[in-house]
Amino acid sequence: MTGYYRRYLQVLLRFLPVAIAFLRDRRRFLLFGPSRHVSAAVHRDRAERLTETMLELGPAFIKVGQVLSTRPDIVPPTYVEAFATLQDEVPEDAGGDPLTVVESELGDDLDLDTLEPVAGGSLAFVYTVDYEGERIALKVQRPGLAAVIERDLRVIRGLVPLLVTFADERQRYSIENVADDFEEIILEELDFEREASIMATIEDNFADDERIVVPTTYPELCSERIVAMEHVDGEKITDEDVLADVGIEPTEMATLIARTYLQMGLVDGVFHADPHPGNLAVTDDGRLVIYDYGMSQRLTQQEQDDITSLYRTLVRRDVDGLLNTLIALDVLDRSVDRVAVRRVLELVIENLEGKSDVSWREIITELFATLHEFPFRIPPNVMLLVRVGTVGEGVCRTLDPEFDFIAVTRSFLVEQGVIESEVEALLADVRTDLQDSAPALARAPARFDTVFGQLERGELVVRTDPVEPTTGGVAAAGDAIIAGALIVATALLTFHHQPLEVASAVLAVAFLGRYVRR
């Protein structure tokens, strides 16, 4: 317990200077005084200091930073960008020596004289080693990390009440749930048997696609702390000239990456959630290699359907569908003021439609920034898929600055039958309008007959006081009514197998011309 309190105090002191700076933004003298304006440069400096602090505090806080880089409900855009750099920056001395894990668990199965270190991560180290005549890779968890991370997660949970006290009211709902989200994601990433299982599933899902390489696992060597897999050489996808060397256009590779992740998340329901440049590579023959499946997820069918709906409604900019989807995903509480949220979402859509080049990151940032007015949170599964879209789009735009992630997503959803093409969507809207109007149109002749009968019998008198003199009188009004009736008839007759609507349309034009001439 003493270790917990010592760590709590250490973490509190490390974050205290930045915390005081944030408090002074709200009240210049902490307890009183006006708020103060802070420039973007100052926020960037603070974000960099926070990033360095997380690196120094170790693996659990590195993972916290990575998760926060996908939480626009809590973290402003400047800080999101800074925390995203934690993907590749890892302290070399985090945890104990992973070699001791290899020796204790696989010392009798492998020739450890052939063991060579390759790379280090916040939770694990990667080696290559000979096994049954082949070179394989071992992802080895740093020893002693589980206990350290569990302690730090308790510290983070202990800090949440303090954060809630000083947070804006609109952020409290998210912060109160964030500790659970951190714990779920980080502890799952510590489960290497789960990671190996997900790798095997994703490999099976892409077995028929020769462009994608998912390293094959060796179940007999895998354990809670080791993932043994095929060793696949590849060049980092963002390295200069790497695509030119294998004869692939940047746009082609960017499209392949986007479609691969859309396939995993929206179709297969099992996805790799960490598509940063360090985890994507290109082989000598131009295939895409995906490494490190620690941050990955399986979706239930309902979650998959709801998240697919999120992508569909955002791409189509369907306000009502988006509102229903956000509630279904538990992003918004079911008791939320739907009218107020709908009004806000309409503003989001209007803002986006006013831009010629809209990125997925802009859509998500605009959406969640606007939802700050309401109590909302981003559940872990939604957060990871949002991360896939934003981080993946960033990689794609690094390869091709003009890459249109939204267009590729729309095309993919059309191919999967999730949304219609633009023409089909227009026809569907017209069809729906006509279907909705058909009952009223079917009852129209009977109602006209009733009204005309009342007029003949003098039971109905219509009086009007014209605002300005009319030129055509009753005859002109009759022409207008007949022209309108013929237009409705033309719309209905278009569904008949004979071209009867032609005659109706001609007559409608004729009577409309008579009305205009009067």
Residues in Cβ contact with 501 at an 8 Å cutoff, skipping those fewer than 6 apart: 489, 490, 491, 493, 494
Mean per-residue pLDDT, 460-467: 57
Which residue did the predictor score with more confidence, 83 or 71?
83
What is the average per-residue pLDDT within 295-301? 89
pLDDT of residue 427: 46
43-62 average pLDDT score: 88
Q: Does pTM surpass 0.85?
A: no
Average pLDDT of the chain, as a whole number: 81
Greatest mean pLDDT among 23-27, 263-267, 372-376, 502-506 lies in: 263-267
Q: What is the 3-state secondary structure (H, E, C) of 345-376?
A: HHHHHHHHHCCCCCCHHHHHHHHHHHHHHCCE
**Residue 92 reports pLDDT greater than 70:** no
Helix (H, G, I), strand (E, B) or coil at 185: helix
Cα separation, 83 vs 390, whole angstroms: 13
CA distance 144 to 439: 71
Residue spans per domain, the chain? 1-90, 95-151+184-232, 233-419
pLDDT mean over 52-75: 80
Determine the pLDDT at residue 425. Answer: 47
| Beta-strand relationship, 288-290 and 212-213 | parallel
pLDDT band at 221, cuts 50/70/90? very high
* Strand (E) or helix (H) holding 476: helix 473-493
The answer to whether 353 and 151 have CB atoms below 8 angstroms apart is no
Q: Which residue has the higher pLDDT, 477 or 53?
A: 53
- Count CB atoms within 10 A of the CB of residue 343: 11
Q: Calculate mean pLDDT across residues 24-31.
A: 76
Q: What is the pLDDT of residue 200?
A: 96
Q: Indicate the CATH number for domain 95-151+184-232.
A: 3.30.200
Give the span between the Cα atoms of 74 and 78, in whole angstroms: 12
- List pLDDT tens digits, range 169-217: 666 666 766 767 778 888 888 899 999 999 999 999 999 999 999 999 9
What integer pLDDT is reported at residue 89 of this predicted model?
45
Paired with 116 in beta bridges are 128
Is 61 a residue whose pLDDT tops 90?
no
In this predicted structure, what is the pLDDT of residue 102?
93
Return the minimum-mean-pLDDT range out of 82-86, 315-319, 410-414, 435-439.
Answer: 435-439
For the segment 266-275, the average pLDDT, to the nearest whole number, is 90
DSSP 231-243: ----EETTSTTHH
The larger pLDDT score, comparing residue 68 to residue 264, is at 264
Q: Which residues pair with 236 in a beta bridge?
A: 281
Tens of pLDDT, residues 384-421: 777 788 888 889 999 999 898 888 988 898 888 877 64
Across the range 379-386, mean pLDDT stands at 78
Helix (H) or strand (E) holding 189: helix 169-189
- pLDDT given at position 93: 54
